[in-house]
């Protein structure tokens, strides 16, 4: 049996009277691709924010490699290797694509702030490494040709890839992708599915929130279904496709939505 890299234990988040996430538990095996699906407002995004510590839970906890990361500052969770992307195309808009990715190497910075200011040997070595690594990441995601473009001028498809490039630069062990296929046509989705598999093959465990059911069913090792903040099912894609409560949650539109 493979080891669980991430253990989500009874996570609950209430906003006032609204319970966005209610007692959700599941585990994520190392090297897996796990999808979290559910109708709009099911609490998927909140769950992501809880895992990445952008929001703290009302109760419950998240263990990463056996250590509880709940309650840590979000940047510390990222430093340990749990890195999220954002639903919108969130990037540093006024920097070039290359600069976006280089800045995202901050975690691997060995030079101190003072060393950086005086351009110490360590700082210069850092920059050289980051430059090479950023170029490699950009090439890997097919962004090599647009590396010198200001990010806000990039075509929409490239923006999402850049968002992922920025996250990869932080050297995640677990990458949380928020709707990576949203708004893509079939070919774009195919390419993106390949890309996500490729990221997994680089040794990164992937958790994604997604609406595109056919992509989810193709790509996932495990699917977790949320409805009104509660986990209603968990299993392999084929188990989920036959699950009664899942079909019910999707209000009879199951046939088209779940990808039969």
Partner 1 sequence: MGIETKQEASSEVKGSGGISSGHDRLPAGSKLRFFALAATLLVVVPVVLGRSPYYITVLTNAAVLAFISLGVWVTFSIGRMNLAQGAFAMVGGYITAILSTRYGLSFWLCMPLSGLVSAALGAFVGWPVLRLKGVYFAMITLSLTEAIRLLTLNGGDVTKGATGIVNIPRPGAIGIFGLTIVPEFSGADPLPFYFLACGLLLLGIVAVWRLSTSRLGWVFRSLRQNEDLATSIGINVGKYRVIAFAICCFMGGIGGAFFAAYHQNIYPASYTIADSVNFMLYCFLGGLDFILGPVVGAFLLVIAFEILHAVQDYQALIYGILMIACMLWLPNGILSLAVRRSSRESPARK
* Mask for 159-178, x = binds partner 1 (CB under 8 A): -------xx-xx--------
Q: Binding string to partner 1 for residues 62 to 101, with x set by CB under 8 A, is what?
A: -----------xxxx-xx---xxxx---xxxxxxx-xx--
Please say whether the beta carbons of 131 and 105 come within 8 A: no
Check residue 113 for interaction with partner 1 (CB under 8 A). Answer: yes
* C-beta of 170 vs 225, nearer to partner 1: 170
CA proximity to 237, closest of 2, 34, 1 = 34
The single residue listed with the structure tokens 């430093």 is 79
How many residues sit close enough to partner 1 to count as binding (CB under 8 A)?
47
Q: CB within 8 A of 78, min separation 6: which ones?
A: 52, 84, 107, 170, 172
Angstrom distance (rounded) from CA 78 to CA 98: 21
Smallest distance from partner 1 to CB 257, Å:
30
Q: How far is CA 72 from CA 10, 63, 67, 80, in A?
A: 18, 11, 11, 10
127 contributes a contact to partner 1 by CB under 8 A = yes
Where on the chain is the footprint of partner 1 (CB under 8 A)? 52, 54, 73-76, 78-79, 83-86, 90-96, 98-99, 102-104, 106-107, 109, 111, 113, 116-117, 119, 123-124, 126-127, 130-131, 147-150, 153, 166-167, 169-170
């Amino acid at each position: 049996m493979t080891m669980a890299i991430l253990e989500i234990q009874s996570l609950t988040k209430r906003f006032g009277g609204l319970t966005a996430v209610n007692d959700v538990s599941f585990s994520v095996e190392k090297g897996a691709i796990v999808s979290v699906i559910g109708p709009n407002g099911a609490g998927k995004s909140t769950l992501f924010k809880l895992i990445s510590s952008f929001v703290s839970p009302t109760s419950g906890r998240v263990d990463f490699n056996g250590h509880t990361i709940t309650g840590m500052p979000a940047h510390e969770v990222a430093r340990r290797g749990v890195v999220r992307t954002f639903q919108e195309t969130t990037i540093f808009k006024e920097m070039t694509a290359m600069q976006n990715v280089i800045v995202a190497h901050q975690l691997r910075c060995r030079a101190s702030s003072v060393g950086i200011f005086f351009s110490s040997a360590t700082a210069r070595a850092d920059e050289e490494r980051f430059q090479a690594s950023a170029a490699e990441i950009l090439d890997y995601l097919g962004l090599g040709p647009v590396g010198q473009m200001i990010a806000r001028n990039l075509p929409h498809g490239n923006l999402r890839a850049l968002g992922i490039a920025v996250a990869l630069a932080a050297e995640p062990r677990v990458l949380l992708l928020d709707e990576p296929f949203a708004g893509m046509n079939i070919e774009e989705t195919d390419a993106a599915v390949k890309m996500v598999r490729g990221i997994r093959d680089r040794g990164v465990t992937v958790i994604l929130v997604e609406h595109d059911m056919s992509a989810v069913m193709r790509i996932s090792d495990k699917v977790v279904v949320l409805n009104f903040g509660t986990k209603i099912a968990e299993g392999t894609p084929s188990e989920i496709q036959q699950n009664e409560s899942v079909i019910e949650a999707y209000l009879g539109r199951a046939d088209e939505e779940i990808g039969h």
